[in-house]
Amino acid sequence: MTRQDINENHGPTDLERHVSFWDRDGDGVIHVSDVWNGFRELGFSIPYSLISLFIPLLFSYATQSGHPKCTRRDPRFRICVYNIHRTIHSSHSEVFDDRGRFNQVKFDAMFKQFDVGNKDYLSTCEFLRMWRSNCDPCDFGGWLYSFMELFTTWLLIQKNGQIARAELRGVYDGSLFYSIKESRHFKRIQKR
């Protein structure tokens, strides 16, 4: 039984739902253009959206069906959604397990540990402390990936330097991406 068969029987994992926003046509493959369009729809600038194109460059190989036996890279740098769990790196929050399932208990514990004052949001300093505490001392690459994810999340959802618990949860399950896209679309329609 392949990973794809498992998903057809049991549905996508939480991590697959997280990235499915970028799978524009629902075919299980995220193309470079999907990454660009997704970041633009979320309101990121052209320069930042260009930087986001490193995502397929860095993660495509790990998600290919033959990996780790496959020695050839996909020249189109496509990301296979059903293998996205292979991109989980060290120096992460461990809110997703190694199969891409969300762990609510770890999310709550993480938030409780860093939410000084139990205010249901993290300040920018608390968010950075969370990142630093998850950094494996011997894993510079993991730090970099983790920081890119953290910085993108911060740019996307912070309001007055605060990250709301519900919005952070929405990033993990991917639902917030659709909400932001719809909100931006609605605002554009209102301006007409």
64-80 pLDDT tens trace: 887 666 667 788 999 99
Question: Phi and psi for 152 in degrees, rounded to 5?
Answer: -65, -45
Residue after which a domain boundary falls, among 38, 57, 87: 87
pLDDT at 137: 80
- Whether 21 and 45 map to the same domain: the answer is yes
Choice between 187 and 73, residue whose per-residue pLDDT is larger: 187
- Whether 73 and 100 map to the same domain: the answer is no
Residue after which a domain boundary falls, among 65, 87, 109: 87
SS3 161: coil
pLDDT (mean) for 121-130: 94
Choice between 66 and 47, residue whose per-residue pLDDT is larger: 47
Going by C-beta distance under 8 Å and a sequence separation of 6 or more, which residues neighbour residue 112?
A: 118
Instruction: Give the mean pLDDT of the chain.
Output: 88
- Whether 76 and 102 map to the same domain: the answer is no
Q: Containing H/E element for 121?
A: strand 121-123
Per-residue pLDDT at 89 exceeds 80: no
Domain count, the chain: 2
**Could you tell me what percent of the chain has a pLDDT over 90?**
64
Q: 121 to each of 16, 96, 135, 149, how far by Cα in Å?
A: 25, 20, 21, 18
DSSP per position, 18-77:
HHGGG-TTSSSEE-HHHHHHHHHHTT--HHHHHHTTHHHHHHHHHHSTTTTT--SPPTT-
Angle between helix 175-191 and 165-173 (nearest 10): 100
Per-residue pLDDT at 26 exceeds 50: yes
**What is the pTM for the complete model shown?**
0.86
User: How many residues in total does the chain contain?
Assistant: 192
pLDDT at 141: 81
Q: 148 to each of 32, 110, 127, 139, 151, how far by Cα in Å?
A: 18, 19, 13, 14, 5
pLDDT at 10: 65
**Could you tell me what percent of the chain has a pLDDT over 70?**
91
Which residue range is the domain that position 152 belongs to?
Answer: 89-191
- Whether 95 and 71 map to the same domain: the answer is no
Q: How far apart are the first and last CA of the chain?
A: 51
Per-residue pLDDT at 97 exceeds 80: yes
For the ranges 4-8, 96-100, 168-172, the maximum mean pLDDT occurs at 168-172
Kindly report which listed range (54-58, 94-98, 133-137, 161-165) carries the lowest average pLDDT score. Answer: 133-137
